Structure 1
Amino acid sequence: MCTPVLRPMAAIITDILACLDAAYPFSWALSGDRVGLQAGDPQASVTNVLVALEASPAVVAEARTLSAQLLLTHHPLIYQAAADLREDRPQGRLLAAVVRAGLAAVACHTNLDLAPQGLNDHLAHRLGLEEPVVLDPVRQEAWLKLAVFVPVGYEDQVRTALMDDRVGVIGHYSHCSFAARGQGTYLPLSGARPFRGEVARLSRADESRLEVLVPESAVPATLARLKKAHPYEEVAYDLYPLANPGLALGFGRVGHWPGGLSWKETVNRVKEVFAVSGVRVWGQPPEVVSRVAVCGGSGGDLIGQARVQGAQVYVTGEVRHHQAVPGPEEDFAVIEVGHFASEVVFMPAWAEQVDHFLRQRELAVQVIVSAAQTMPFQIL
């Protein structure tokens, strides 16, 4: 559970959606995926958000107990179109419970799978993989160059406001920018409140042209921070589209363990990370495992891609029979940990991320991780 912190601004659901869209753009979701607001009033007030892998009767009851107004899940509440809302059937009963509880329901599904610092980045980090890259790229996010003109002496103030974990990042380097001095001119018109100079008189100002790279989806949030930090009433800036290769977005990650782990150590680490007592294994692993691929959820379709990327072990949540390695394949193994286990492990970290983003926007919202999440089946 995130520590509740009071913040100065009340929030509505639209504010939460904007925050989520900036971090995990809904436009990144695969075609046909059901993401975003699925139930509730966009203008409703929110003070408590409950984060869970998926909605269930127990999670909805927990939300009511905690007086949560919004249920944020990875799995969509309505994944397939409902033919009816009959309460003698599980889906209708669940949907009715959400409505009766006055809950808004928001989902970040495949957009969260693809996102930097999303589900798959977290799994790679938890496994201890170094230099992880996207296992199966599905798109690239375009870069833009932001050039803004800043009065001399205010460069650091504006630069600091612009930078985050995506803006100003080039490879393994963050806070990348360039500045050059020059002179700007402006003539404040009637009604203007110039930072320097007088209305109806031409002014000259020593300024720096500050440049930084911005991912396309981060532009709105970046400009909002820029305008808040910049001393000018009217901020002069340019956005240039770039032909540089964009940021790869896709499913799964593949990285390495320096020095490698034995097969026994590999299995033990996987069990520990995903908090499972047993796993299913296909193939024949090498004695020492150094290159590992991972994909949360139903990752069976990426077994071939894991081999192409040189993985010796591929860890995923769910594999169908005909996706699995057809026989003992030397020096390659697939480890299945279970769909639920492969994703629920990310929920505490996701709640912390969302809480951090809300803090940045000074929104008075408490973010809570569900304690009622349980596997939807049992093994006898």
Structure 2
Amino acid sequence: MATGQQIIKWFEEFSPKHLAMEKDPIGLHVGTLNKPVSKVMVTLDVLENVVDEAIDNGVELIIAHHPLLFKPLQQINPDTEKGRIVQKLMKHDISVYAAHTNLDVTKGGVNDAMCEALGLEVEDVLVETKRESLYKLAVFVPSTHENHLREALGDAGAGHIGEYSHCTFHSSGIGAFKPSENTNPYIGTQGELEKVDEVKMETIVPQSLLSKVLSAMEDAHPYEEVAYDLIPLENKGEKQGAGRVASLKNPISLKDFAEHVKTSFDVPALRVVGDLSKTIKKVAVLGGDGNKFISQAKRSGADVFITGDLYFHVAHDALGMGLNVIDPGHHVEKVMKKVVHDYLQTTFEENNIQTDVMISKANTEPFQFL
């Protein structure tokens, strides 16, 4: 069984906190992560029916996309829904952790999952928010363990350049060291100078994988003390940002594509702005409220913009600039539940962790369609 801290450490390797937009209230909202967790629940929203479901299923940690506490509470009053939610969570020792815009931005997150559900081929991010920082890792290892260490670093995500993986450069030399009386050296004798044929292995590591790669390095390296250098680089890393720009394999009309969106996201209705006869090939996608990004969607060359919560006057603006828009609602971000569930389940299995993970079945869609 893993602790909450370990679970969130693994989760943040997938959805790093540094990807979140400024002032986005992500992270731990209620409870503690310093406890064993036997069951995790993944949800889009933390409403009272979701908390009741968690209580009924013996859940100890909820991982949500939409933060429970967007604004600080002035009081915890059980006469209000928010107060009852917090009271129930505390009473039943259930912790709540939120991953919001960082889960939108991260590779394989909300927006990529929406594109996958629609059968789109992702080409670019819609709105660049940052470039991931890169580091050069140079580690010294006995030549006998060179291949083993290279595989471990590459498997952890180091050395990825474009479509190439496990990229390294090595140079050979002689490593020298004298073990003290407090050591248990893999090679050498206490108090005596030892010289070993070693390899200096160099590779590139993205910031989001730094902790994972260094941990893999420590595990794969035979020495008690690993000698390595970690150097920040000026090279530009992978572009990261909100939304995606993607394409359809076969162009279709806006009307037919809207029906496809409706079916793919399993929604009873959606709103469409534009000429239903227009041909759709290039698509901009942004889960949640995308009102402030219609100009970026237009500049991307997209034939249609898929987003939620479209405002009346923004719809007029889109119409005026010739941008078709499909609004299937905010709740389609529910695709994140399976993404996070599958990631955690795989991680637990790989680490032989006896912690269960479940998807919330409680309905958090506030709208009904008549």
- The separation in 2 between residues aligned to 1:185 and 1:261, in whole angstroms, is 67
1:19 partnered with 2:20: no
Cα deviation for residue 257 of structure 1 reads 2.1
Question: 1:189 is paired with a residue of what secondary structure?
Answer: coil
- The separation in 1 between residues aligned to 2:161 and 2:359, in whole angstroms, is 33
Question: 2:317 is paired with a residue of what secondary structure?
Answer: coil
CA RMSD of aligned residues (A): 2.0
Cα deviation for residue 112 of structure 1 reads 1.0
Contact 1:284 1:331 in 2 (8 A): no
Cα deviation for residue 246 of structure 1 reads 2.3
Question: 1:212 is paired with a residue of what secondary structure?
Answer: strand
- The separation in 2 between residues aligned to 1:286 and 1:161, in whole angstroms, is 53
Q: Match of 2:356?
A: 366
Flag structure 1 segments of 5+ consecutive residues without an equivalent: 1-9
**1:156-189 deviations in whole A, cap 9, x for unaligned?**
3222222347432222333322233333222222
Contact 2:110 2:335 in 1 (8 A): no
1:266 partnered with 2:266: no
Q: Match of 1:309?
A: 300
Contact 2:176 2:194 in 1 (8 A): yes
Structure-2 change in CA distance of 1:277 and 1:326 (3 Å): same
How many positions carry a matched residue from both structures? 370
Q: Match of 1:106?
A: 97
- The separation in 2 between residues aligned to 1:129 and 1:349, in whole angstroms, is 17
Structure-2 change in CA distance of 1:268 and 1:174 (3 Å): farther
Amino acid corresponding to residue 255 of structure 1 in structure 2: A
Question: 1:163 is paired with a residue of what secondary structure?
Answer: helix
Q: Match of 1:335?
A: 326
Contact 2:169 2:202 in 1 (8 A): yes
Structure-2 change in CA distance of 1:244 and 1:280 (3 Å): same
Structure-2 change in CA distance of 1:309 and 1:204 (3 Å): same
Structure-2 change in CA distance of 1:54 and 1:328 (3 Å): closer
- The separation in 2 between residues aligned to 1:165 and 1:326, in whole angstroms, is 46
**1:307-336 deviations in whole A, cap 9, x for unaligned?**
111111111122122322436458631100
Cα deviation for residue 374 of structure 1 reads 3.5
Structure-2 change in CA distance of 1:180 and 1:124 (3 Å): farther
Q: Match of 1:238?
A: 229
Question: 1:134 is paired with a residue of what secondary structure?
Answer: strand
Structure-2 change in CA distance of 1:379 and 1:101 (3 Å): farther
Q: Match of 1:3?
A: none
TM-score, structure 2 length as denominator? 0.93
Cα deviation for residue 220 of structure 1 reads 1.5
- The separation in 1 between residues aligned to 2:314 and 2:167, in whole angstroms, is 43
Question: 1:154 is paired with a residue of what secondary structure?
Answer: helix
Structure-2 change in CA distance of 1:199 and 1:286 (3 Å): farther
Question: 1:251 is paired with a residue of what secondary structure?
Answer: strand
TM-score, structure 1 length as denominator? 0.91
Amino acid corresponding to residue 162 of structure 2 in structure 1: G
**1:45-94 deviations in whole A, cap 9, x for unaligned?**
21100000011222111111211101110011111222222222222122
Flag structure 2 segments of 5+ consecutive residues without an equivalent: none
Q: Match of 1:200?
A: 191
Structure-2 change in CA distance of 1:235 and 1:286 (3 Å): farther
Question: 1:322 is paired with a residue of what secondary structure?
Answer: helix
1:120 partnered with 2:91: no
Amino acid corresponding to residue 184 of structure 2 in structure 1: R
Q: Match of 2:219?
A: 228
1:211 partnered with 2:197: no
- The separation in 2 between residues aligned to 1:163 and 1:123, in whole angstroms, is 29
163-172 or 103-112, which deviates more:
163-172
- The separation in 2 between residues aligned to 1:317 and 1:182, in whole angstroms, is 59
Q: Match of 2:267?
A: 276
**1:165-222 deviations in whole A, cap 9, x for unaligned?**
7432222333322233333222222222221222222222222222221111321221
- The separation in 1 between residues aligned to 2:126 and 2:355, in whole angstroms, is 35
Structure-2 change in CA distance of 1:262 and 1:155 (3 Å): farther
**1:204-260 deviations in whole A, cap 9, x for unaligned?**
222222222111132122111110111111111111111111222211000222342
Amino acid corresponding to residue 191 of structure 2 in structure 1: A
**1:84-110 deviations in whole A, cap 9, x for unaligned?**
222222221222222222211110111
Question: 2:245 is paired with a residue of what secondary structure?
Answer: strand
Match of 1:76 among 67, 77, 81: 67
Q: Match of 1:346?
A: 336
- The separation in 2 between residues aligned to 1:327 and 1:141, in whole angstroms, is 32
Match of 2:345 among 355, 361, 365: 355
**1:334-359 deviations in whole A, cap 9, x for unaligned?**
10010012x00221122111223344
47-56 or 239-248, which deviates more:
239-248
- The separation in 2 between residues aligned to 1:290 and 1:236, in whole angstroms, is 52
State the identity as a percent. 35
Q: Match of 1:184?
A: 175
Question: 1:86 is paired with a residue of what secondary structure?
Answer: coil
1:379 partnered with 2:369: yes
Amino acid corresponding to residue 235 of structure 2 in structure 1: N
- The separation in 2 between residues aligned to 1:87 and 1:361, in whole angstroms, is 40
Question: 2:274 is paired with a residue of what secondary structure?
Answer: strand
**1:278-301 deviations in whole A, cap 9, x for unaligned?**
210112366332111101111121
Amino acid corresponding to residue 308 of structure 1 in structure 2: R
Structure-2 change in CA distance of 1:203 and 1:107 (3 Å): same
Match of 2:145 among 134, 154, 158: 154
Amino acid corresponding to residue 69 of structure 1 in structure 2: E
Contact 1:53 1:75 in 2 (8 A): yes
